[in-house]
Structure 1
Amino acid sequence: MPNMPNPMQLIADRWQPSARWVQRAALACVVMAVVIVVTGGAVRLTQSGLGCPTWPTCTEDSLTPTPAMGINGVIEFTNRMLTYVLCAVIGVTIIAARARAPRRRSLTRLGWAQFWIVMGNAVVGGITVLTGLNPYIVSAHFLLSTALLTVAVLMWQRSREGDEAPRELVVRPVRQLAGVLVAATALLIVIGTVVTGAGKHAGDASKNVRRIPLDWHEITQLHVDFVYIVIGLTVALWFTLRAVKAPAVPRRTVAELFAVLMLQGVIGYVQYFNDSPEFVVGTHMFGSCLVWIAVLRVLLSLRERGEAPAVPSPSAGHEALGAGQPAAASNR
Structure 2
Amino acid sequence: MHKRPPTMVPVPKLTPTDLVAALRNPLAFIADRWTPQSRTVERAALAALVMSVVIVVTGGAVRLTGSGLGCPTWPECTAGSLTPTDALSYHSAIEFTNRMLTYVLCAAVGWAIIAARSQKPFRRSLTRLGWAQFWLVMSNAILGGIVVLVGLNPYTVAAHFLLATALITVAALMWQRTREGDGEPRPLVGKAVQQLVWALVAVSLLLIAAGTVVTGAGPHPGDSGDVERIDVSWSGVAELHAVFAWIVVSLTFALWFFLKGVGAPQGPRDRVRELFLILLGQGVIGYVQYFTHLPTVLVGLHMFGSCLVWIGVLRVLLSLRERADVTGDAALPAQSYDAVSASISGPR
- Provide TM-score, normalisation by structure 1: 0.91
> C-alpha deviations, 1:69-91, integer Å up to 9, x for none?
11000100110111111001111
Match of 1:160 in 2: 179
Residue 92 of structure 1 and its aligned partner are, at CA, apart by 1.0
Match of 1:261 in 2: 279
Match of 2:143 in 1: 124
Distance 1:88 1:238 in 2: 38
Match of 1:296 in 2: 314
Residue 262 of structure 1 and its aligned partner are, at CA, apart by 0.2
Match of 1:151 in 2: 170
Residue 68 of structure 1 aligns to a residue in which SS?
coil
Residue 243 of structure 1 and its aligned partner are, at CA, apart by 2.4
Q: CA RMSD in A?
A: 1.4
Is 1:231 matched up with 2:249? yes
Residue 244 of structure 1 and its aligned partner are, at CA, apart by 2.2
In structure 1, give the amino acid aligned to 2:303: M
In structure 2, give the amino acid aligned to 1:167: R
Distance 2:232 2:223 in 1: 19
Change (3 A) 1:309 1:80: farther
Is 1:175 matched up with 2:203? no
Distance 2:189 2:238 in 1: 35
Change (3 A) 1:67 1:309: farther
Instruction: Say if 1:160 and 1:307, in contact at 8 Å, map to a contact too.
Output: no
Instruction: Say if 1:166 and 1:304, in contact at 8 Å, map to a contact too.
Output: yes
Match of 1:87 in 2: 106
Distance 2:166 2:154 in 1: 18
Which structure ranks higher in relative contact order (CA pairs < 8 Å, sequence separation ≥ 6)? 1
Change (3 A) 1:247 1:221: same
In structure 2, give the amino acid aligned to 1:52: C
Match of 2:260 in 1: 242
Gaps of 5+ in 2: 1-16, 329-348
How many residue pairs are counted as aligned between the two chains?
308
Match of 2:227 among 209, 228, 238: 209
Alignment of 1:1-332 (within 5 A): 5=21, 6-206=25-225, 208-307=226-325
Larger deviation: 294-303 or 54-63?
54-63
Residue 308 of structure 1 and its aligned partner are, at CA, apart by 8.9
Distance 1:164 1:244 in 2: 26
> C-alpha deviations, 1:221-249, integer Å up to 9, x for none?
00000011001110111111122211011
Change (3 A) 1:12 1:309: farther
Distance 1:196 1:27 in 2: 28
Residue 309 of structure 1 and its aligned partner are, at CA, apart by 8.3
Instruction: Say if 1:38 and 1:282, in contact at 8 Å, map to a contact too.
Output: yes
Residue 10 of structure 1 and its aligned partner are, at CA, apart by 1.5
Distance 2:289 2:70 in 1: 25
Distance 1:216 1:12 in 2: 52
Identity %: 65
Instruction: Say if 2:68 and 2:152, in contact at 8 Å, map to a contact too.
Output: yes
Distance 1:56 1:309 in 2: 49
Residue 142 of structure 1 aligns to a residue in which SS?
helix
Distance 2:276 2:66 in 1: 33
> C-alpha deviations, 1:155-200, integer Å up to 9, x for none?
0000000000000000111101100001100110110000000000
Distance 1:119 1:300 in 2: 26
Residue 49 of structure 1 aligns to a residue in which SS?
coil
Instruction: Say if 1:160 and 1:308, in contact at 8 Å, map to a contact too.
Output: no
Distance 1:178 1:141 in 2: 26
Instruction: Say if 2:183 and 2:326, in contact at 8 Å, map to a contact too.
Output: no
> C-alpha deviations, 1:261-308, integer Å up to 9, x for none?
000000001100110000100000000000001000000000000259
- Provide TM-score, normalisation by structure 2: 0.87
In structure 2, give the amino acid aligned to 1:281: V
- Point out 4+ residue stretches in structure 1 off by more than 6 angstroms: none
Change (3 A) 1:228 1:68: same
Instruction: Say if 1:198 and 1:212, in contact at 8 Å, map to a contact too.
Output: yes
Residue 81 of structure 2 aligns to a residue in which SS?
coil
Residue 67 of structure 1 aligns to a residue in which SS?
coil
Instruction: Say if 2:45 and 2:171, in contact at 8 Å, map to a contact too.
Output: yes
Match of 2:334 in 1: none
Distance 2:100 2:319 in 1: 35
